[in-house]
């Protein structure tokens, strides 16, 4: 009966293979169409679809559990073209709220603390909003999730310390050169990792040069990264001018050797060179790292840093989970009070209405009641309403969202003769004015 229920059905990197998620992924404009589809297919009141490369999740608000879960599973199955139930998780109520908060705060991410997820959740939120399938419940749930994510980010160090090889390379370059504006970055080879690191440094203001065995590939990569291509024969002259060099060729032998570097070092006149070797097998002879003013890092060095930073983030995750727990509790107080609110309002109206009607009947028989006395009588009616209903309302609140609570609610409605018309129904009747979950009615 609780129309304030919330549910999430989905799969993530923890539960499903990437090949399946790829088939289910929904991007950009298609997101709105898919939300509409789910919304219409099962007449679900509130729908939010979150689709990233690591998860596909459908959040539904304000409906009956079993029907919703199977409707969403059916939609996913139709899209995947195969049975997906083995990969799905379903969370209800409080657990669904916790899940939403953890996802937005990047606690459920593959790389804990990575910042993209919040943007993706926001995208899902706006897509859902623009299709009109966002009701009070999901709206409030996700607005709170954004606030929780922000709080986690500012109060813990969960997002600190780079955890990708390319951003660590960028950090290190900044530790050597300070500002990367106008620095020369040389990509030796057109490997994927090199491209990612190059992109990162390009964004920080460096200018990019590409040297590759195949000139076509060099051209293509240079175009993509807004850089310039050079032939392989230019390797040593380019090395002499570069500030950062990233080697990612597929050569089985060392490409950058001490013999090659000796004249390069001389030509560089003591300028520091940051050499990043992300090729496997390695491109740079380790002896080059012992040369003056050369800082050589290979992929193991960078990955070790990534691992250390990731471990630090995981340790920090406990603090973040505590924030989430507090916020979930506050949200739950608000959500439960939402179920009761229409009944409580109806109760008050009923009792106060009865008392006021009796007063109206009696007043003509009294003589000379002044305006002031009249106001006192009104106040008396308010006080009587509160006193009479005090126990009933506090019991309802104390047992909200439990089986006893639901029975109590039914009995209260029966005993006080509340018509079915004021039965709580979707869309959720709680007004948006009541925003702060911490101040939820309790």
Partner 1 sequence: MWVTALFGLTAALYAIAAGLYVLFLARGTEGGATWAARVLGGAVASHGAFLVSNWAVLGTVPTADIHQALAVLSLVLVLVFLLTARSQDRLHVLGAFITPVTLLLFLGAAFRRGVGPVPEGVKSALLPVHVGVNVLGLAAFALAAAAALAYLLQERQLRQKRLGGLMQRLPALDVLDTLGLRSVLVGFPLLTVGVVTGTIWAVQLHHGGFGLSAAQGFGLLSWLLFAGVLLLRVAAGWRGRKAAIGTVLGFLSTMVVLVGYMLRGTEGLG
How many other CB atoms are found less than 10 A from the CB of residue 105?
31
Question: Which two tokens mark 291?
Answer: 């040369």
Closer residue to partner 1 in complex, CB, 177/334: 177
Active-site annotation holds for 53: yes
Q: How far is the CB of 149 from partner 1 (least distance, A)?
A: 24
Q: Does position 175 bind partner 1 by CB under 8 A? A: yes
By rule CB under 8 A, what string of x and - marks binding of each residue 150-169 to partner 1? ------------------x-
Give CA 42 to chain center in angstroms: 26
Coil vs helix vs strand at 244 = strand
Closer residue to partner 1 in complex, CB, 67/271: 271
Please count the residues of the chain.
442
Q: Which of 20, 53, 147, 377 is catalytic?
A: 53
Q: Please check whether residue 409 is in contact with residue 397, taking contact to mean a CB–CB distance below 8 angstroms.
A: no
Q: How far is the CB of 153 from partner 1 (least distance, A)?
A: 18
255 contact partners, CB below 8 Å, separation of at least 6: 188, 189, 235, 247, 249, 283, 284
Give the CA-trace dihedral at 202, 205, 211, 214, to 10 degrees. Answer: 30
Q: Does position 361 bind partner 1 by CB under 8 A? A: no
Q: Restricting to residues 235-274, which ones interact with partner 1 according to CB under 8 A?
A: 269-272
* Angle between helix 65-80 and 29-42 (nearest 10): 130
* Cα–Cα distance, 417 to 210 (Å, whole number): 80
Q: Does position 174 bind partner 1 by CB under 8 A? A: yes
Q: How far is the CB of 286 from partner 1 (least distance, A)?
A: 12
Closer residue to partner 1 in complex, CB, 269/372: 269
Q: How far is the CB of 269 from partner 1 (least distance, A)?
A: 4
Q: How far is the CB of 309 from partner 1 (least distance, A)?
A: 9
Q: What is the DSSP letter of 48?
A: E
Closer residue to partner 1 in complex, CB, 27/308: 308
CA distances in angstroms from 356 to 131, 374, 415, listed in the order given: 45, 12, 20
* Cα–Cα distance, 366 to 160 (Å, whole number): 75
Closer residue to partner 1 in complex, CB, 120/241: 241
Closer residue to partner 1 in complex, CB, 177/209: 177
By rule CB under 8 A, what string of x and - marks binding of each residue 269-308 to partner 1? xxxx-------------------xx-x-x---x---x--x
Spatial strand order of the sheet with 55-61 comes to 46-51, 55-61, 6-12, 89-92
- Determine the interface stretch with partner 1 among 174-182, 189-197, 369-377, 411-419 (rule: CB under 8 A): 174-182
Interacting residue ranges for partner 1, rule: CB under 8 A: 168, 172, 174-179, 269-272, 292-293, 295, 297, 301, 305, 308
**Residues labelled as active-site residues:** 53
């Amino acid at each position: 009966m609780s129309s304030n229920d919330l549910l999430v059905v989905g799969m993530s990197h923890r539960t499903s293979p990437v090949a399946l998620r790829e088939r289910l992924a929904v991007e950009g404009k298609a997101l709105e169409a898919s939300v509409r589809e789910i919304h219409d297919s099962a007449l679900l009141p509130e729908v939010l679809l979150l689709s990233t490369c690591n998860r596909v999740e459908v959040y539904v608000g304000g409906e009956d559990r079993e029907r919703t879960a199977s409707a969403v599973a059916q939609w996913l199955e139709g899209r995947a073209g195969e049975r997906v139930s083995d990969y799905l998780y379903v969370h209800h109520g409080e657990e669904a709220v916790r899940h939403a908060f953890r996802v937005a705060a990047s606690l459920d991410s593959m790389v804990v603390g990575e910042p993209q997820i919040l943007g993706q959740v926001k995208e899902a939120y706006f897509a859902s909003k623009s299709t009109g399938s966002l009701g009070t419940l999901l709206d409030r749930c996700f607005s709170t999730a954004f606030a929780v994510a922000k709080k986690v980010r500012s109060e813990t160090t969960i997002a600190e310390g780079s955890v990708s090889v390319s951003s660590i390379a960028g950090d290190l370059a900044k530790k050597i050169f300070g500002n990367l504006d106008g620095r020369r970055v040389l990509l030796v080879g057109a490997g994927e990792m090199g491209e990612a690191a190059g992109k990162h440094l390009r964004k920080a203001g460096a200018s990019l040069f590409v040297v590759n065995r195949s000139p076509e590939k060099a051209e293509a990569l240079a175009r993509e990264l807004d850089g310039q291509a050079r032939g392989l024969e230019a390797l040593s002259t380019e090395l002499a001018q570069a500030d950062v060099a990233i080697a990612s060729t597929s050569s089985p032998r060392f490409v950058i050797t001490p013999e090659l570097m000796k004249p390069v070092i001389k030509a560089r006149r003591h300028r520091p060179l940051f050499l990043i070797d992300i090729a496997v097998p390695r491109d740079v002879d380790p002896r080059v790292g012992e040369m003056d003013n050369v800082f050589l890092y290979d992929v193991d060095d960078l990955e070790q840093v990534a691992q250390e930073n990731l471990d630090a983030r995981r340790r920090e995750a406990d603090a973040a989970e505590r924030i989430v727990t507090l916020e979930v509790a506050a949200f739950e107080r608000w959500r439960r009070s939402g179920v009761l609110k229409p009944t409580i309002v109806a109760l008050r109206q009923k009792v106060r209405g009865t008392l006021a009607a009796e007063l109206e009947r009696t007043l003509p028989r009294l003589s000379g009641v002044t305006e002031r006395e009249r106001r006192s009588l009104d106040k008396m009616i308010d006080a009587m309403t509160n006193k009479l209903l005090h126990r009933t309302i506090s019991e309802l609140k104390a047992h909200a969202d439990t089986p006893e609570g639901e029975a109590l609610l039914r009995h209260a409605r029966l005993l006080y003769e509340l018509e079915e018309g004021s039965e709580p129904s979707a869309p959720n009747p709680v007004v948006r004015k009541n925003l702060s979950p911490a101040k939820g009615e309790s």
